[in-house]
Amino acid sequence: MERRVWLNGRLCAEAEAVVPAVWPGVVHGMGVFETLRSEGGRVFRLREHYERLVEGCGRMGLEVPGYEVFREGLAAVERTVEAASVRLRFSVLGAGEGKAAWMAVAGQVDAVGEARLVVTGVRRAAGSLLAGVKATSYAENVLLQRAAAAGGGTDAVVLGADGTVAEAAMSNLFVVRDGVVTTPLLASGCLPGIMRAVVVETCGLEGIECREKEVTVGDLRGAAEVFLTSAVRRVQRVATVDGERLVGCGDEGVTARLARAVEARAAAESVML
């Protein structure tokens, strides 16, 4: 069955969801997006995703959809996918002069296995105007993931301007050593992930020490456990870094404990679209 797309309030066939080729959202990648996960029509941290979308629109000078429009678009496409877990994406594409198109698409969430990280030499630009914005200008992230795949990995480690670890190409990153959880500072250039914030908060609720500080490549390679976070994957255990297996990546570690706690919170706190 052809995928359905919600565009500016109308649910239509994928081939009919078109925008002018000369729009800034197409020509220059002037746009922002949010990716969410739905289970039975329920979404975790829906409001927080909307607020980050609004902030991104403000940074790019794009027309902001109202919260109910945001929900309407996501709900419309969510109903077109018959799956237990649905991946949702809401995009705002620049049309020029502050105007924008609003678009939502959906697809099935694939099973999440262990991640395999590959460290790259790629650094985030210091003082980037897009730092912290979930922009549709995503080519670098895609190319990084391709490079990771070529090296036998599933995701690539990206460095900050100072050479410390910032994030993975498609997710935020955490390391565990001596029972302490550490994640790079937002100043590293990493995305202010919604699930990143949930994990930091959950560490406090679980009595697990969590620090936001610089993480070096040495810290990453010497960690007992490493995990990634995103709205779709939530907490994903990392099995290897540059092909070396982590010693503490089993089912009884800190990562597994946090994964269970986050899943429980998502089940209890999610809201209907």
CATH superfamily of 115-269: D-amino Acid Aminotransferase, subunit A, domain 2 (3.20.10.10)
The ranges of the chain annotated as CATH 3.20.10.10 are 115-269
Residues 36 and 198 sit within 8 Å (Cβ to Cβ):
no
Tokens 């779709």 correspond to what residue?
Answer: 232
Sheet strands (E) in 20-177: 31-39, 42-43, 85-96, 99-108, 115-123, 155-159, 165-168, 172-177
Find the mean pLDDT for residues 211-226. 96
Count of CB atoms situated within 10 Å of the CB of 37? 21
> Which residue type occupies 81?
V
pTM, 2 dp = 0.95
Q: How far apart are the first and last CA of the chain?
A: 23
pLDDT of residue 55: 97
- SS3 state at 35: strand
* Structural tokens at position 55: 């902030």
Q: Is the pLDDT of residue 250 over 70?
A: no
- SS3 state at 135: strand
Residue 1 binned pLDDT confidence (cut-offs 50, 70, 90): low
pLDDT of residue 2: 78
Q: Is the pLDDT of residue 166 over 70?
A: yes
pLDDT of residue 231: 97
The ranges of the chain annotated as CATH 3.30.470.10 are 4-108
Q: How far apart are CA 142 and CA 140, in angstroms?
A: 5
pLDDT of residue 251: 73
Count of CB atoms situated within 10 Å of the CB of 83? 14
Instruction: Using CB atoms within 10 Å of the CB of residue 251, give its burial: 0 to 12 exposed, 13 to 18 middle, 19+ buried.
Output: exposed
Q: Is the pLDDT of residue 124 over 90?
A: no
Question: What's the CATH number of domain 4-108, 3.30.365.10, 2.170.130.10, 3.30.470.10, 3.30.1330.60?
Answer: 3.30.470.10
